[in-house]
Amino acid sequence: MAMSERNLEKLLGGFAADTLTPDEQQQLYSAALQDQELFNSLADEQGLKELLADPVVRRRLLQALEKTRSTTDRNPTSWLDWFRRPSGLAWAGGLAAAIFAVVLGTTVYQESLKQADRSVTIEEVPPNTQPASESSVPQPASPPISEPRLKAPTATKSAGAPGQETRAAKAAKQAAEVLAKSVEERAIVDSELDALRTPSPATPHRSPPSNEDAPDSADQKGASAPLPSLSVPTPTAVPATKEPTGQIGTALSARSLFYGDTAEFTPGLMAGEQKERLSHPSQMGNLTGSTKPLGIRYNLVTHGVKEPHEGGDVGALHLTNSIDLMIEANQDGFFHVWGETGSQPPHHLFPLTEEDPIASRLIAYQRRRIPVLPVYRTITIHFSRTPFGTLSNKDFVEMNRVPSGQLQESSASIEASGSQDVSIFVANQDPSAAMLIVRIPIHQP
């Protein structure tokens, strides 16, 4: 075996242990005689060689090595030593973190599944309880209202057909649907609440819904969909098949409606109104006013002798001198006053300029006085939540039809001066009605 002189240093270990082969010894010693450095190294190694040549020392060293090796073989690394190492600590920490993450993730997942099931159950409850509430109301059943609701769980069941998906997958799917639905509803409610906080003075005109505009079953279904975050009573809590007008008029009075008695709203119209609100979130500024029926209070003050009319028309007066029309409303709005002489076409009495929304503005519960010349046989008051546009006489005649559901009530009170003050309350029991039209006949003396 040929080795360079420099590589012969590698044989020094064999020299000390006296394990060199004769060939290696020949090469090493020949090189040592030629190389002083290698010779010095061998001379220094002689001390170790002598030490290792002692059988006692060699046996002790072997025993020590055997002991170390047997310890390593039997128990390569005890758990304690393994944990003391940084790598062991890192592994243990990582494993613990992984186990913790798995446990936490499983728990959160199960909780989400439970919550999703709970939400789905809550969502499925109204269709089951709705027939009971409907049955308690002696109104004719309205199948189109309940049918779509009953279809909802059916659709849910069909979506989760057994055998096609696992239970966990179905639950996750339902949870995702519920979550998306709740987020959408939350967005609607948030926008609604924002609109409530900052009502806009310039609200778009909404035509009052008539009986024909009463919401159909599909609309009622949309309006009666549960809104979890709404604090107002949802339409599902009240019978949804009541007719909007003319049926609860006996229980309501124009005076109570004027002063804000809103406990007996017709749910059908309310559902329609809610549907309209949901479809036009930007018009939420009218939410407060729309939940309160339009109402005005007026009386005619005659300068001189005031005699209540004894005829059938409530509020008709015998004119003895000039008249002041005192009017106030239960909410902010706009009003026009028209006068009719009988032979002449209707004449615009107030405001002087029809397109003056500021002058025609009527602040809630602030009485306005409108002087009326004693030449008119009838004066007509139009009160609306929204400003009026320019009306021609033809338009006036066409829109002069008194809206349905409008209640009128007179109330007489004795004033401090001893005179009797007769006030007329006019209100529409339909909270969604956007306009009041009051015709006041004036009896000439």
Partner 1 sequence: MDRDQILTTLRERILAFATSRVSRDHAEDLTQDVLAVLHDKYPTVNELTDLVPLAFQVLRYKMLDAHRKALRRGEYNQESIEELPLADINDDPVTQLDQKQRVDRLLAAIGQLGERCQALFKWKLEGKSFPEIQKLMNQTSINTIYTWDLRCRTQLLAFMGGSWE
Residues found near partner 1 in the complex (CB under 8 A)? 1, 7, 9-22, 24-26, 29-30, 32-33, 36, 39-40, 42-52, 54, 57-58, 60-62, 64-66, 68-69, 72
**Rounded to whole angstroms, what are the CA distances from 441 to 303, 352, 409?**
18, 21, 15
Instruction: Find the helix or strand (DSSP H, E) in which 71 lies.
Output: helix 55-74
Q: Which amino acid is at 67?
A: K
Smallest distance from partner 1 to CB 172, Å: 53
Minimum CB distance to partner 1, residue 81 (Å) = 14
Distance in Å, CB of 80 to partner 1, minimum: 19
CA distances from 436 to 20, 255, 266, 311, 406 (A): 123, 14, 18, 23, 8
Nearer to partner 1 by Cβ, of 49 and 309: the residue is: 49
3-class secondary-structure state, position 29: helix
If we measure between CA atoms, which residue out of 249, 272, 328, 335 comes closest to residue 296?
328
| Sign of the dihedral through C-alpha 58, 59, 63, 64 | negative
Q: How far apart are CA 349 and CA 336, in angstroms?
A: 8
**DSSP one-letter code for 364:** B
Q: Measured between alpha carbons, how far is 396 from 415 in angstroms, rounded to an integer?
A: 36
Paired tokens of 298: 């007026």
For partner 1, the closer of residues 10 and 280 by Cβ is 10
Q: For the CB of residue 92, give the shortest distance to partner 1 in the complex, in Å.
A: 24
In the bound state with partner 1, the residue whose beta carbon lies nearer, of 14 and 222, is: 14
Distance CA 99, CA 93 (A): 10
Q: Cβ 70 to partner 1, closest distance in Å?
A: 12
For partner 1, the closer CB: 14 or 387: 14
Query: Chain centroid to CA 20: how far?
Result: 90
- Is the CB of 58 or the CB of 369 nearer to partner 1? 58
- Measure Cα distances from 343 to 72, 79, 337, 340, 374 in Å: 124, 113, 18, 8, 15
Nearer CB in complex with partner 1: 1/416 = 1
Rounded to the nearest whole angstrom, what is the least distance from the CB of residue 56 to partner 1 in the complex? 9
Minimum CB distance to partner 1 smaller for 46 or for 344: 46
CB of 24 to partner 1, least distance (A): 7
Q: Which of 288, 301, 296, 155 is nearest to 232 (CA)?
A: 288
Q: How far is the CB of 5 from partner 1 (least distance, A)?
A: 14
Q: Which is nearer to partner 1, 32 or 362 (CB)?
A: 32
CB of 85 to partner 1, least distance (A): 15
Q: What is the DSSP string of 124-160?
A: HHHHHHHHHHHHHS-S---HHHHHHHHHHHHHHHHHT
Nearer to partner 1, 78 or 207 (CB): 78
How many CA within 13 A on the CB side of residue 77?
Answer: 9
